[in-house]
């Protein structure tokens, strides 16, 4: 991904709520004030449950490195995708979710029109240049009444947001440091992904992007 393509996508206005489709919105710069504390918390979580590259049920290594915090964590291996209370790498419970995380997720969900969101898991993804996330739906949760809240930190990325079928047309949305994307209701099962991350250096994260995804899993 080049800077020219990012320019073509357009520079978002800080502080603006940008609708994506019914039930989905990008809150521009919503997490900027909290970003330093969020990244410090990520470092503490990763010290206890390190980032790792999971394996898909089909045996492919994921390009995105990840860890989790909260009551459960999302994992993937040859047995499938699932949530579980212990980190398979350490054998210990996942680190507790910092209060800052839950507070930010509730505030962002409320700003997007979803009141009383109570998250119990945060998936923490680390993207190096070239890492990507293929189009998928978030379907491993026990119910779909609660929204997904996704926080972008560090290098900019191109977020792919589609419809309820994989073949539906996808939008390409540039996400910057501090942007928060929320989708739920009629958009809860929308297909989404991330285009390969471009080379770059960000003052907050260096040569990578950190993404926090809050869900209600249980």
The CATH number that applies at residue 195 is: 2.60.120.590
The pLDDT of residue 4: 35
Identify which of 173, 202, 203, 191 has the alpha carbon closest to the alpha carbon of residue 5.
Answer: 173
CA 3 – CA 15 distance, rounded (Å): 22
* Domain range enclosing 20: 3-215
Average pLDDT score, the chain:
94
For the segment 188-214, the average pLDDT, to the nearest whole number, is: 98
> Could you tell me the sign of the dihedral formed by the alpha carbons of 7, 10, 14, 20, in that order?
negative
State residue 162's pLDDT score.
97
pLDDT digits (tens, 9 = 90+) for 131-158: 999 999 999 999 999 999 999 999 999 9
Number of structural domains found in the chain: 1
CB 73 within 8 A of CB 82: no
Coil, helix or strand for 214? strand
Per-residue pLDDT tens digits for 50-109 = 999 999 999 999 999 999 999 999 999 999 999 999 999 999 999 999 999 999 999 999
Supply the pLDDT for residue 132: 98
- The pTM assigned to this predicted structure is 0.93
* Distances 2 to 7, 39, 64 between C-alpha atoms, Å: 9, 25, 20
pLDDT (tens digit per residue) in 96-129: 999 999 999 999 999 999 999 999 999 999 999 9
Average pLDDT over residues 193-202: 98
- CA 64 from chain centre, in angstroms, equals 11
List the end-to-end C-alpha distance of the chain, in Å, as a whole number: 37
pLDDT band (50, 70, 90) for residue 14:
low
Task: Give residue 16's pLDDT.
Answer: 85
The three-state secondary structure class of 66 is strand
């Amino acid at each position: 991904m080049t800077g020219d393509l990012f320019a073509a996508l357009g520079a978002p206005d800080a502080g603006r709520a940008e609708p994506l489709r019914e039930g989905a919105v990008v809150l521009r710069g919503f997490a900027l004030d909290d970003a330093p504390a969020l990244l410090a918390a990520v470092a503490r979580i990763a010290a206890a449950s390190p980032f790792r590259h999971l394996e898909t049920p089909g045996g492919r290594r994921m390009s995105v490195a990840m860890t989790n915090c909260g009551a459960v964590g999302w994992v993937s291996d040859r047995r499938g995708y699932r949530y579980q209370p212990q980190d398979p790498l350490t054998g210990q419970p996942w680190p507790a979710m910092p209060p800052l995380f839950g507070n930010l997720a509730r505030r962002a969900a409320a700003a997007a029109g979803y009141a009383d969101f109570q998250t119990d898991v945060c998936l923490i993804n680390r993207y190096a240049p070239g890492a990507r996330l293929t189009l998928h739906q978030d379907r491993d949760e026990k119910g779909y009444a609660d929204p997904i809240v996704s926080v972008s930190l560090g290098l900019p990325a191109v977020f792919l947001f589609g419809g309820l079928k994989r073949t539906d047309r996808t939008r390409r949305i540039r996400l910057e440091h501090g942007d928060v994307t929320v989708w739920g209701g009629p958009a809860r099962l929308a297909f989404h992904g991330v285009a390969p991350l471009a080379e770059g250096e960000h003052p907050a994260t260096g040569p990578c992007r950190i993404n926090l995804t809050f869900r209600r899993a249980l």
